[in-house]
Amino acid sequence: MNLKDPLPAGQALEENLWKGMEILGIDSKQKNFLLAYLEMLVKWNRVYNLTSVREPTQMITHHLLDSLASIPAFTTAGNVLDVGSGGGLPGMVLAIWAFKAMPAMKVSLVDSTNKKIAFLRQVKTQLGLNNVSVHNTRVQELSVINKFDTITSRAFAGLADFINWSQHLLSSEGQFIALKGVQPEREIQSLPPNWEVIEIRPLVVPFLDAKRHLVFIKRK
């Protein structure tokens, strides 16, 4: 099987998820937590329309494995904010991974949509994720005591808005990590003053034939 071939139909969700995690080098001890999260996402999505992806197998590739593929970028982070977290992507997936792999990591999720916040809080409670904080507000209005060393987002906004709206929350030596599809050249050209891209890292998501990139941004 080619890495970008779709997952075979009819396989158990657990097998599909584990196969992708194995390719990415993610330990299996997070698998049951991720499956529980997936089950909740599928259930809530029927009523609250958290994501346009409806089919569970597609949720594994487009959401879980897509988020897990970015994990290596966060292994030095200690205090992470996921902006516009929605259904918890990538923040909740990152928190589930960190709960076992990096227990000291704290992950905060911010979203202004009540139904999405209710879902995130339910996931936190049901899975017992004491490394997660959930904030129901616009990121522009969020205030914290301890600033974040890493701020991330996936399908939230253009890079300029992402930075302008959340830069007050980033520590002086911190960085933004934006999860993007194709390399966002126009967005990069429109970065606010005093900010620069320090790396663009292509990602390969198992069983997903689509462009994925991480964009790393820091203060000049």
pLDDT at site 10:
46
Domain membership flag for residue 6: no
The answer to whether 69 touches 212, Cβ cutoff 8 Å, is: yes
* Exposed e or buried b per residue across 17-47, where buried means at least 16 C-beta atoms within 10 angstroms of its C-beta: bbbbbebbebeeebbebbbebbebbbebbee
Contact 145, 77 (CB under 8 A): no
> Tens place of pLDDT for every residue, the chain, 220 residues?
445 555 555 457 788 899 999 999 998 888 899 999 999 999 999 899 888 888 888 899 999 999 999 999 999 999 999 999 999 999 999 999 999 999 999 999 999 999 999 999 999 999 999 999 999 999 999 999 999 999 999 988 999 999 999 999 999 999 999 999 999 999 999 999 999 999 999 999 999 989 999 999 999 9
What CATH number does residue 44 fall under? 3.40.50.150
- How many domains does one find in the chain? 1
Per the structure, the complete domain to which residue 53 belongs is given by: 13-219
Structure confidence at residue 128 (pLDDT): 97
- Kindly report whether the global pTM for this prediction surpasses the value 0.85: yes
Determine, yes or no, domain membership for 8.
no
Does residue 103 fall inside a structural domain? Answer: yes
- 19 occurs within a structural domain: yes
Query: Does residue 5 sit within a domain?
Result: no
Helix then strand then coil, % of the chain, to nearest 5: 45, 20, 35
Domain assignment present for residue 3? The answer is no
The verdict on residue 59 lying in a domain is yes
The pLDDT, as a whole number, for residue 5 is 54
Residue 4 lies in a domain: no
